Amino acid sequence: MKILLLLRHAKSSWKEDSLPDQERPLAKRGLRDAPRMGVVLREENLMPDLILSSTARRARQTTELVADAAGYPGEVSWLDELYAAAPEDILDILNALPAGYTCVMVVGHNPGLDELLALLTDEVDTLTTAALAQIDLPVDGWDQVGEETQGKLVNIWRPKEL
């Protein structure tokens, strides 16, 4: 079995209209919520073996705050391909991972994360900003994860519900 964690970036700021979308920083609420999700990882014993993150500024900041709060000892793989990624794009990235990783966290954006959640679990739900979803996948290797995978949505943690 593999564990896939999907984390939507925390709330971003729209204060600076002139910034390109990829450069929008976290808002105050995002700066507060992201570390709370790191605490969830630690308390739920869901420390990822690998974190894959979008390179958008709000995703980078979210990843750093979550990893720090969780005490994540590993490295982060920063991927431009995760910005505005469709579910198929995320699956391609996951399919290339070595089987040795048991728990992988993807930090990205909607609608791609919501669509991937639905594709892998047949559950339609919305990942609000800084929401974390745990999907258990009945596979031995990441190369086996695809549209036909019947994953189980274990939980979704949302900052406002903590």
10: CB partners within 8 A, 6+ apart: 26, 27, 29, 30, 31, 33, 34, 37, 58, 61, 62, 65, 129, 130, 159
What residues make up the domain containing 126?
Answer: 2-10+20-161
pLDDT above 90 coverage of the chain, percent: 90
In a domain, 83, yes or no: yes
In a domain, 15, yes or no: no
Question: Strand 2-8 relative to strand 50-54: parallel, antiparallel, unpaired?
Answer: unpaired
Query: What digits encode the pLDDT tens for the residues 61-102?
Result: 999 999 999 999 998 999 999 999 999 999 999 999 999 999
Q: What CATH number does the domain containing 145 carry?
A: 3.40.50.1240
Domain count, the chain: 1
In a domain, 155, yes or no: yes
In a domain, 153, yes or no: yes
In a domain, 74, yes or no: yes
As a whole number, mean pLDDT of residues 115-136 equals: 97
As a whole number, mean pLDDT of residues 133-141 equals: 98
pLDDT at residue 146 tops 90 = yes
pLDDT at residue 16 tops 80 = no
